[in-house]
Amino acid sequence: MSNLEIIASAIGVLAVWLTVRQNRWCWPIGLVMVLMYAWIFFDGKLYSNMLLQGVYAALQLYGWLQWTRGGASHQGVQVSRLTSQGLIFSLALGATGALALGFLMANYTDATAPWQDAALSAFSLVAQVWMAQKRVECWPLWIVLDLLFVALFLTYGMHLTAGLYALFTLLAISGWLTWQRDRALVDA
């Protein structure tokens, strides 16, 4: 456990807490966290997760724009649900990404956990896009992913990061309940 991992973990908790509260500052704070974690994962040879952090950096900017200038009135997007078609398409895209990235990592790198790392990374991108669009479905997906990340990080001795993802799981449960309530208020 490094000082960088400690600082990145603390920033990560703040970013996810702000996301649950639908505070737009979650995005620039999240950007700092993902850049720090890119280095941590590179150092741990979790290359899919390292690449994921680079994509997350771009998605942090996308989320910032969606939450501040998105939507029909350019006042920011509101909590919404995916259509069945959107859900199936997104999950199929995640599965395709997981297979492609897993193949590349397993065959062309010395990645520590190529298939598991790739699957978690690909589906995390799906969840992150859904989050940027304020889709309620992002939270149950994050719950599953965060629990699987906890197992991965414990396996590789990244105890603080595993603890962070356990906390992310609790925050995701809170986010799911909060966003469902907010969506119900919009529907009422």
pLDDT tens string for the chain (188 positions)?
689 988 998 998 999 999 999 999 999 999 999 999 999 989 888 887 788 899 989 999 999 999 998 877 788 888 999 999 999 999 999 999 999 999 999 999 888 889 998 999 899 999 999 999 999 999 999 999 999 999 999 998 888 889 889 999 999 999 999 999 887 766 65
Q: Assess if residue 49 is contained within a domain.
A: yes
Residue 176 in any domain: the answer is yes
Cα(14)–Cα(9) distance, integer angstroms = 9
Identify the domain containing residue 142 by its residue range: 3-73+88-187
How many structural domains are present in the chain? 1
Residue 163 located in a structural domain: yes
Domain presence at residue 178: yes
- Whether residue 160 lies inside any domain: the answer is yes
Cα-Cα-Cα-Cα dihedral sign, residues 32, 38, 43, 49? positive
The model's pTM is: 0.86
Residue type, 171: L
What is 18-84 written as a DSSP string? HHHTT-TTHHHHHHHHHHHHHHHHHHTT-HHHHHHHHHHHHHHHHHHHHHHH-STTSS----B---H
